[in-house]
Structure 1
Amino acid sequence: MSRLVWFRSDLRVTDNPALHYACDDQADVQAVFILCDQYVESHPIGPRKLWFIRESLKDLAVNLQKSGIELSLLRVAKAGDIPAKLMAFCKEMGIKSLYCNAEYPIDEIERDRKVKASCEGADIAFRRYHDRCLIPPGMLKTGQGSVYRVFTPFSKAWKEKIKSARLEAYLAPETGRGKKAKDATRAIDQCFARCDLRPAPDHWQPGENIAQRKLQEFCDNALLEYDEQRDTPAGPGTSRLSPYLSIGSLSPKQCYLAAAARVKGDWEKHSGVNTWINELIWREFYMHIAQAFPALSRHKPMQAYTDDFPWRYDKTLFQRWCNGETGIPIVDAAMRQLNNTGWMHNRLRMVTAMFLCKNLKIDWRWGERYFMEQLIDADFCANNGGWQWSASTGTDAAPYFRIMNPVSQSERHDPDGQFIRRYVSELAELNNKDVHTGRGAAAYCDPIVDLNRSRQEAIDLFKSLKSNEATANES
């Protein structure tokens, strides 16, 4: 009896529940990955992440090959083509059971529903597991039985639940357990042949073994000081594991277990470890939210009244922000880091997002999509949650009157301008005070907006919206 493991955002052989259960006996196991053109365009999946996925698939294929599991590649034009394509493949290969791990945005949920229905019609068992979250969506509820909308009580409930969980990473399948599998490298290259790829080997090294090594290095060298170092963009204080988590070369369970092991399990008493695990909880929080509120996957704000905010749709200003040519040094440095490396420091994601939404008053959805196009670690749930937090439109959002001042942020977290100078060469010769404003640099552009005036304008607009909402609710 043949079984098929359908890989999606779980490109690894260790701690992969779908693969583990498919290989729990001596049944013949095969593997497949489907590239959907519509998903590449609409989600979107940017050129760097596509390259990262392609190279990670090659690594996955080699690891599967050691266990006699062959990875096949399928390509479809539209998401609606996936069920029929899968069923044809299953029929050709004599598949009787399909195994996969869950994804939570609405497009993926609807896709899986259709595939499950097709499997039932073809007498194929459909098995789905959870690996994106340590605690799957739906398992944490408030005392009233509803989904948590605020992070702090969610995190408290998560931590309480995790204490009773017996977590253990699944081992990779045994080597040599099946027939000799073919090398999938050529098939992978052919599948991605028409894709716009942007290789970034100078900044990122794909692969499951690389991911596990980087996790261990972070736990050994930076985890204990994470709470003190994480907000410094010029330093190595963050883990940079997000690209591996986004495509599943690394699981959140592996991250949690490694971090807990670093302090012999007593992680809540170690501020650095506790702070980093809180970041893992934030990822899970946004996945729970995405599944519970599918409108978020349809470009809607969590707080409906904010859709009446008079967003600007100025393409010229937006392009200045995209290019890192705003005249605000820390914003420009962060955007150039993104454009050059496919990654941005987390604090600077908040700073640049707030600047776009609050100071320029440009629709947060424009920025959300640009980040998805550029980030090698792009993940819909985390990206959408972060943008809505910054725009004060989401669940547990920043209060509309709390607007980060980018100059103050750079003075606090990049005091000597090391990060700014790294990416904004026009400011390299300025002193440690002027580097935060760009004052005195002849080759640098003037600010495209007055920070103080635009901040107050945004506060007044949001205040008016809140007042109108309160009046409407009373009537």
Structure 2
Amino acid sequence: MSSEAPATISARAGLWLRHDLRLRSNPALAAAAKLNGAEQPIPALILLCPQQMHEHDWAPIKWDLYYRHLHEFVKSAAAAGIALSIQVIESWQVAPKAVKRFAEQQQLSEVHVNVEYPLHEVRRDRAVKALLEQQGVAWHGHHGNLVVPPVLTTQTGTIYQKFTPFAKAWRQHLREQLGHSGLPFMHPVERRCKVAAAVVPEVDYPRQDSSAWVVGEDAVYQQLQGYIDEQVSAYAAERDFPGLDTTSRLSPYWELGMLSPWQAVQQLAQLSPDFPDALDQGPDVWLTELIWREFYQHLMFHVPRLNYGKAFLKHTDAMQWREDTDSFQRWCEGRTGFPIVDAGMRQLAAEGWMHNRVRMIVAHFLVKDLLLDWRLGEQFFMRHLIDGSFPANNGGWQWSASTGTDAAPYFRVFNPTLQSEKVDPDGSYIRKWVKELADCPKQHIHAPGKWLKDRKRSDYPQPIVDHKVARERFLAAFKAL
């Protein structure tokens, strides 16, 4: 991932920051700091591109979280001797020239980055690298955003298409890496020089209040530490119950690079001397969720068509999806008449977040009960989720739609009412988000249609579909492929 620059009179390294606004566990920053020495500031560039955010369906609440964190980061960066330059650009097509101009102005001999893996980001970085090398500036890419970079292959040299063998190989790779070199550099970069804090420019992009989420590297890191110390032990037992709200809620910080996955590994490693082995069930299941995140990153890197809205299972692109704007709108607004689905969609609208189990339920419902294209749901999620991750979101939707690698079998069709009874047995989650059912008794909360009819109430809709009929419709459509 690197190239050597021609000999220069004075080596000087710069940094291009993207989804990695952090001082801890940042190998690109550590490498640049090592070359420059403790007495010299580190020139660093941040490019903001509203057009790209729009094209990639950034949720307004996700942008608000990033923007708030950026204001905190410029202060901590200045105290650490990082001389930031923050620029707003029209499109990523001009990124190569912007980075080249930055390198010229700062008289850099090399530029360091943490690698990003989706196809468009890979192509962008290739263009930047080529232009820099024409000017004699070396490009160094570091794997700071994944624990295991996309190098894992099967014994026959192919990519892993099933999660279980991937997870086994991932753990073995980590085991070997820890045994060989231990944890990578994790501490904040410390300098003996100070610089003025950069001015954060205004950006023309819609924002939704994210103040319920902490920002600033120290606060985010403390949230990680607190979760591992106090809650992760119960994760396996409690993770499927949205009413308990006991998941970590750290996903936005990994997506935006305010945390690195290595920091999670560092915290988990303290729980077992044989890490990644011999973890208790809670931490081990939580680690498995982190591996799922990396699995989808690897797939996005190795399977280009996933970047173009195509199904992993090619034959499923021929699926005949219904066109039903009204049903889709009712799903979006949480007016399907299935309380667990509506609670999830209303939580998404209000908080920009949804419990992971409920994400699976609402996705199954859109695809298999309403027979609507999974790509509609994928885009809607990206436009509203504070933790919207292209690889993870795509992987989750294709799993639910039975179009992806290692996906749920097509004949596995969630019954939303049974799922509701299983994950929200007392109805507390439903009552929180579906106010019309606040007084609905427990025995009716999961299927309140008759209870509402008996009281001649119309403030909450009747079910939009008959699940049994919808299930058979989906199975027939999938079998026809």
> How many Å apart are 1:174 and its aligned residue?
4.5
Q: How much has 1:271 moved relative to structure 2?
A: 1.1
Q: Which amino acid in structure 2 is aligned with residue 450 of structure 1?
A: D
Q: 1:449 aligns with which of 434, 455, 465?
A: 465
Report the counterpart of residue 99 of structure 1 in structure 2.
112
Aligned residue among 316, 320, 340 for 2:326 = 316
Aligned twin of 2:196: 182
Q: Which runs of 5+ in 1 are unaligned?
A: 466-475
Give the aligned partner of residue 407 of structure 1.
417
Deviation at 1:95, TM superposition (A): 2.2
What is aligned with 1:71? 84
CA deviation string 1:4-58 (max 9, x = no partner):
2111111111000000100014154111111122311111111111111111112
Residue aligning to 2:383: 373
**Aligned partner of 1:205: which letter?**
V
TM-aligned CA distance change 1:420 to 1:362, over 3 Å: same
Which residue of 139, 159, 166 maps to 2:171? 159
Structure 1 distance, partners of 2:298, 2:189, is 33
CA distance in 2, matches of 1:391, 1:107: 25
Tell me, what secondary structure is at the counterpart of 1:437? coil
SS of 1:433 mapped into structure 2: coil
Deviation at 1:171, TM superposition (A): 4.0
Could you say which residue in structure 1 is the equivalent of 2:145? 132
Residues 1:462 and 2:475 are matched in the alignment? no
Question: Do the aligned partners of 1:20 and 1:172 also contact (CA within 8 Å) in 2?
Answer: no
Query: Structure 1 residue 328: deviation in Å?
Result: 0.7
Residues 30-429 of structure 1 aligned to structure 2 (within 5 Å)? 30-138=43-151, 140-166=152-178, 167-178=182-193, 180-184=194-198, 187-188=199-200, 190-192=201-203, 194-201=204-211, 203-266=212-275, 268-269=277-278, 270-429=280-439
SS in structure 2 of the partner of residue 327 of structure 1: coil
> SS of the counterpart of 2:346?
helix
Q: For residues 208 and 259 of structure 1, what CA distance do their matches in structure 2 show?
A: 19
Q: Distance in 2 between matches of 1:424 and 1:349?
A: 16
Q: For residues 297 and 434 of structure 1, do their structure 2 counterparts lie closer, same or farther at Cα, with a shift above 3 Å needed?
A: same
Give the secondary-structure state (helix, strand or coil) at the position aligned to 2:103. Answer: helix
Quote the offset at 1:72 in angstroms.
Answer: 1.4
- Would the aligned equivalents of 1:23 and 1:173 in 2 still touch at CA under 8 Å? no
- Evaluate the alpha carbon distance shift between residue 174 and residue 296 of structure 1 in structure 2; reply closer, same or farther with a 3 A threshold: closer
Instruction: Indicate conservation of the 8 Å contact 1:260/1:273, yes or no.
Output: no
Partners of 1:274 and 1:333 lie apart in 2 by 29
CA contact (8 A) 2:113 2:142 kept: yes
Q: Distance in 1 between matches of 2:249 and 2:313?
A: 31
In structure 1, distance between residues paired with 2:189 and 2:169: 37
Instruction: Identify which range, 60-69 or 280-289, moves more after superposition.
Output: 60-69
Q: Normalized against structure 2, the TM-score is what? A: 0.92
Tell whether the 8 Å contact from 1:219 to 1:262 is kept in structure 2 after alignment.
no
CA contact (8 A) 1:224 1:271 kept: yes
* Residue-by-residue CA offset, 1:261-314 (whole Å, 9 max, x unaligned): 134445543111110000000001001100000110111110111111111232
Could you tell me how far apart the structure 1 residues matched to 2:216 and 2:113 are?
20
Report the 3-state secondary structure (helix = DSSP H, G, I; strand = E; otherwise coil) of the residue aligned with 2:418.
helix
Secondary structure of the 1:354 match is helix
Identity of aligned residues (%): 40
Q: Deviations over 1:372-401 (max 9, x none)?
A: 111111111100100110111111111000
Would you say the 8 A contact 2:13–2:111 is kept in 1?
yes
Superposition deviation, residue 438 in structure 1: 2.4
CA spacing shift, 1:235–1:28, aligned 2, 3 Å: same
Rate the CA distance shift 1:173–1:427 in 2: closer, same or farther, 3 A: closer
Q: Distance in 1 between matches of 2:232 and 2:15?
A: 34
Distance between the aligned counterparts of 2:83 and 2:325, measured in 1?
47
Deviation at 1:108, TM superposition (A): 0.3
Q: How many Å separate the matches in 2 of 1:94 and 1:173?
A: 25
Conserved in 1, the CA contact under 8 Å of 2:175 and 2:276? no
**SS of alignment partner, residue 33 of structure 1:** strand
* 1:298–1:405 CA distance, 2 compared to 1 (3 A): same
Partner of 1:471: none
Task: Please tell me the root mean square deviation across aligned C-alpha atoms, in Å.
Answer: 1.4
3-state SS of 1:164 partner: helix
Q: Secondary structure at the match of 1:401?
A: coil
Q: CA deviation at 1:199?
A: 1.8
CA contact (8 A) 2:27 2:185 kept: yes
Determine the C-alpha separation between the residues in 1 that align with 2:239 and 2:416. Answer: 17
Q: Which moved more, 1:444-453 or 1:167-176?
A: 167-176
TM-score relative to the length of structure 1: 0.94
User: 1:11, 1:248 within 8 Å by CA — same for their partners in 2?
Assistant: yes
CA distance in 1, matches of 2:268, 2:245: 17
- Tell whether the 8 Å contact from 1:372 to 1:379 is kept in structure 2 after alignment: yes
Whether contact under 8 Å (2:41, 2:81) holds in the other structure is no
**CA-CA distance at 1:86 after TM superposition:** 1.5
Distance 1:267 1:337 in 2: 34
Could you tell me how far apart the structure 2 residues matched to 1:237 and 1:263 are? 22
Alignment CA distance shift 1:176-1:143 (3 Å): closer
Amino acid of the residue matched to residue 361 of structure 1?
A: L
Q: How far did 1:456 drift?
A: 1.3
Residues 17 and 46 in structure 2, CA contact (< 8 A), matched pair in contact too: yes
CA contact (8 A) 1:169 1:254 kept: no
Distance 2:334 2:90 in 1: 34
Query: Does the 8 Å CA contact 2:77/2:197 hold for their aligned counterparts?
Result: no
Look up the equivalent residue of 1:238 and give its one-letter code.
Answer: T
Q: Tell me if structure 2 keeps the 8 A contact 1:3–1:98.
A: yes
Following the alignment from structure 1 to structure 2, what is the Cα–Cα distance between the partners of residues 351 and 171? 37
Greater CA deviation, 360-369 or 90-99? 90-99
Distance 1:132 1:173, change over 3 A: closer
